[in-house]
Amino acid sequence: MTIPIYCITDNAPNFRSAAKTLFGDKARPCFAHSLQLAVDDSKSECPGVKKLLQKAKNIVGHYRRSSQARERLHSLQERMQVPQLELIQYVETRWSSEYCMLQRLVEMKGPIAAELAQSEHNIEPLTNADWAQAKGVLEVLEPLAQATKEISGDSYPTSSMVIPILHCLSSHLNSRIQRQEEANLSTALRNELYRDFEEMDSTADEPEPSTSNSGLWSFFDSLPNERKEMNISEEVEKYLSEPRVAATLNNLAVLYGKRGKYKEAEPLCKRALEIREKVLGKDHPDVAKQLNNLALLCQNQGKYEEVERYYQRALEIYEAKLGPDDPNVAKTKNNLASCYLKQGKYKEAEILYKQVLTRAHEREFGTIEGEYLSLTIV
């Protein structure tokens, strides 16, 4: 059996030319590097974003150069009782560097704004509008930074993650375009991705893979496959059933959940659950973990019947696979009891809370004989 060897390089013309000479059609550009180039190219179409990033770089550089300014910043962090984090400097050759720089700057907004207001310097501070824009830019770029991290892993196969990641990124950017303050950057990024990764239909809610003879999609068509008769929709389905795709979908769902976008997060979480059930089996602890996440999303939407069902099933899996003393059992019982409380099902909640407290008491002090823990619902 002959195993084909593919050569992956960055997108520099000299590297691509050398790889093409040595490996022919087995030479492929790095997907993560292509994402970074798309981000870089999109900034040129957004003067406001470029100006914001330059101001952020100047502020970070100011604290990197001045030890006195840095000490004043640390002192303010301590007085304001916030973590004493260090600013992250932009490095052109480091992927997602501007995202990480801007993220840390926003995390330290209070101390930085206070220090710049109290000291003498020639640095232009960020205005309230700048801070708001920075948060919007982070929301647009966060999934791309996460995708770059996921696709750069070296302990698991990553080629099957490319198409699902592209679909998730396209869906994310299409949703951000609806927000006026983020529309320019989101549109520029989406257009760069479509241009770089071949003929995705920009009018569709979800891009369809092209069947052209060049670019990313044809690359995946050319990979070794025992089922050559498989059509493109089945091929995509195969890629979307990879375990790492479940993790990516779950992480994206968590990201949406943190932003309060529970309706958008729910189908992603359900798809991740389907993949885990198919790959791991319906009674695997990781399936229970996914059920917990799904229950939480439904709870935030007031879908309590579904919440009960998901928590009950998760509880059954944990008890059967990990035993009654596993911390996940108590945690899930507590979550389910909280769901009962929100519905006014106080008797059901009382039973679960008593089970949790009794079990904890028995582990710590031994079996309870002739006495019962009292519990008052408040």
pLDDT in tens, 145-180: 888 887 887 766 677 677 778 877 887 888 888 776
81 and 175 within one domain: yes
Amino acid in position 343: Q
Amino acid in position 119: S
Would you state the structure tokens that stand for residue 345, as one six-digit string?
Answer: 């099902």
| Distance from C-alpha of 272 to C-alpha of 291, rounded to nearest angstrom | 10
Q: DSSP label at 318?
A: H
Is the CB of residue 177 less than 8 Å from the CB of residue 186?
A: yes
269 and 163 within one domain: no
Q: Is residue 98 part of a domain?
A: yes
259 and 150 within one domain: no
185 and 84 within one domain: yes
What's the predicted TM-score (pTM) here? 0.56
Tell me what pLDDT residue 261 has.
85
Q: Is residue 100 part of a domain?
A: yes
Would you state the structure tokens that stand for residue 174, as one six-digit string?
Answer: 């299409």
Tell me what pLDDT residue 218 has.
38
Q: Is residue 178 part of a domain?
A: yes
193 and 84 within one domain: yes
Q: How large is the average pLDDT for residues 173-189? A: 79
Would you state the structure tokens that stand for residue 183, as one six-digit string?
Answer: 């529309």
**Where in the sequence is the domain holding 65, given as residue range(s)?**
31-197
Q: Is residue 204 part of a domain?
A: no
Q: How large is the average pLDDT for residues 61-68? A: 93
Q: Angle between the 162-176 and 243-258 helix axes, to the nearest 10 degrees?
A: 20
Residue 274 pLDDT greater than 70, yes or no: yes
172 and 41 within one domain: yes
Q: Is residue 227 part of a domain?
A: no
252 and 185 within one domain: no
Tell me what pLDDT residue 292 has.
93
Give the CB-side neighbour count of residue 301, counting CA atoms within 13 A.
Answer: 17
Is the CB of residue 287 less than 8 Å from the CB of residue 277?
A: yes
163 and 46 within one domain: yes
Q: Is residue 59 part of a domain?
A: yes
Final residue belonging to a domain, choices 128, 163, 197: 197
| Total number of domains constituting the chain | 2
CA geometry: angle 274, 276, 277, nearest 5 deg: 65
Is the CB of residue 328 less than 8 Å from the CB of residue 318?
A: yes
166 and 67 within one domain: yes
Per-residue confidence at 60, pLDDT binned at 50, 70, 90? Answer: very high
Per-residue confidence at 225, pLDDT binned at 50, 70, 90? Answer: very low
| Distance from C-alpha of 85 to C-alpha of 77, rounded to nearest angstrom | 8
Final residue belonging to a domain, choices 162, 197, 232: 197
CATH of the domain at 329: 1.25.40.10
Q: Is residue 184 part of a domain?
A: yes
185 and 249 within one domain: no
DSSP string, 163-224: HHHHHHHHHHHHHHTTSGGGHHHHHHHHHHHHHHT----TTSSSPPPP--SSHHHHHHHHS-
Amino acid in position 266: E
275 and 127 within one domain: no
Per-residue confidence at 217, pLDDT binned at 50, 70, 90? Answer: very low
Span 99-123, pLDDT tens digits: 999 999 999 999 999 999 999 889 9
344 and 278 within one domain: yes
- In sequence order, which ranges of the chain are alpha helices (DSSP H)? 13-23, 31-43, 47-65, 67-79, 97-107, 109-118, 128-151, 162-176, 183-196, 215-222, 232-239, 243-258, 262-280, 285-299, 304-322, 327-342, 346-365
Tell me what pLDDT residue 205 has.
36
Q: Is residue 142 part of a domain?
A: yes
Give the CB-side neighbour count of residue 7, counting CA atoms within 13 A.
Answer: 15
Q: Which residue, among 27, 6, 25, has the nearest Cα to 16 in the 3D structure?
A: 27
